[in-house]
Structure 1
């Protein structure tokens, strides 16, 4: 079993456990719970298998110990990467977090074929406050989840904000596509999560609308 752990300061590290205690770790490692780990191994995590920017990953074995502890933070540990950073970076080798304005013109879940198996697939788009866009692709259960959420009141509003956590950037020449990680096994789609970045973007949107409404061209008057 593979999973992602988040240190109290926000850095992420990948971890894995073999099948000898898999049922135990499936029961203990629940999303959002705080744990104390000890007596584990650290091994190098190569670029081709990296799911975080940490150079190492944790290996839990028979001597490893784990205990529940009180929560050390209420932070969601989301680290937003802005659009220009995605455009300018040659490639992202590990999943990243993105935020954008959800394009309400979304289609239905389709079925793409992967290794002769049909995979539910949803194509959608997000944009930043400057109007730059990114094409996104979701698969599996995540595709249905996003389609269902697209009908909610918040995403039907004027400027619906969504956050994509642990998505992968794929570049083909000048084309950039944002895809979920391994058919949605790790990636999430959040609608207006209560984080500072979302609140700041909402403030900037309303400020931009006010500035546009107060401009001379919008009021129908001009200097001659």
Structure 2
């Protein structure tokens, strides 16, 4: 058997016998219906394949919180695998990793500098059906006309802080977005700062889900905002390229306006 497997090759028939090398892409805390604390992780290998992981042994929770820091690369062995049901699937992988007292974890050097962000164009969101279980990344210009945070009642009957906002692309197409909980307050705070009030206020939404109805498309955060992220001007080539295109458009508009004024003088 190879030294380690790729995430896409993981099989439950070989659980506790497989080894993977992955980056801890994201993590968030959970509480089950019995009030038991837990932890979820999104792991990604060097090819970009993702798999969810969770801690089932509460006595090991603090250990995995410590070693599974976002951004670190680890070698994992002696782990279980369980079906990842449609209702809670956060990756395309059919299984999720079960971390337990048996699991061995070692830090390793990064295998790649890839941030594992893959932006989807607005047209594909608007024109093609998406399963809301498969999360997407979006890049756009933040609409400064943001609404106030409101208290909405969720499907579970509990009240949750909710923020509605918009992002646009360079062609002027708009997507309606919805954030909840701490993420809603984070975005609202960012919207009050100078960075998101300029002419090129670019933001990235990572791991958000598309919800479609007959007359409406909305981009919603996942897991109440615990997994989804809102990044302001992240240091990515796509951001630099978009900003450059926007400045070209601004200059062209200014030039056209100046030319029009000269002809009308």
Of the three residues 176, 199, 204, the one matched with 1:135 is 176
Kindly tell me: are residues 207 and 11 of structure 1, through their superposed partners in 2, closer, same or farther at Cα, counting changes over 3 Å? farther
Distance in 2 (alpha carbons) for counterparts of 1:145 and 1:121: 11
Report whether the alignment pairs 1:99 with 2:132.
no
Report whether the alignment pairs 1:88 with 2:127.
yes
Instruction: Return 5+ residue gaps in structure 2 as ranges.
Output: 1-38
Per the TM alignment, residue 208 of structure 1 is displaced from its structure 2 partner at its CA by: 2.0
Larger mean Cα displacement after TM superposition, 19-28 or 189-198? 19-28
2:43 — aligned with what? 5
Per the TM alignment, residue 13 of structure 1 is displaced from its structure 2 partner at its CA by: 1.5
2:91 — aligned with what? 52
Distance in 1 (alpha carbons) for counterparts of 2:182 and 2:167: 20
2:214 — aligned with what? 173
Of the three residues 7, 12, 15, the one matched with 2:53 is 15
Report whether the alignment pairs 1:62 with 2:101.
yes
DSSP 3-state at the match of 1:183 = helix
Cα deviations by residue, 1:186-221 (Å, 9 ceiling, x for unpaired): 111100000111111111111222333344x65116
Instruction: Return 5+ residue gaps in structure 1 as ranges.
Output: none
Report whether the alignment pairs 1:202 with 2:243.
yes
Cα deviations by residue, 1:95-135 (Å, 9 ceiling, x for unpaired): 21111100000122111122442211111000100011011
Give the aligned CA root-mean-square deviation in angstroms.
1.9
Aligned residues: 221
Distance in 2 (alpha carbons) for counterparts of 1:211 and 1:171: 36
Larger mean Cα displacement after TM superposition, 106-115 or 122-131? 106-115
Superposed, 1:93-172 pairs within 5 Å as 93-114=133-154, 115-172=156-213
Distance in 2 (alpha carbons) for counterparts of 1:84 and 1:56: 31
DSSP 3-state at the match of 2:225 = coil
Larger mean Cα displacement after TM superposition, 86-95 or 160-169? 86-95
Distance in 2 (alpha carbons) for counterparts of 1:196 and 1:8: 19
Per the TM alignment, residue 181 of structure 1 is displaced from its structure 2 partner at its CA by: 0.6
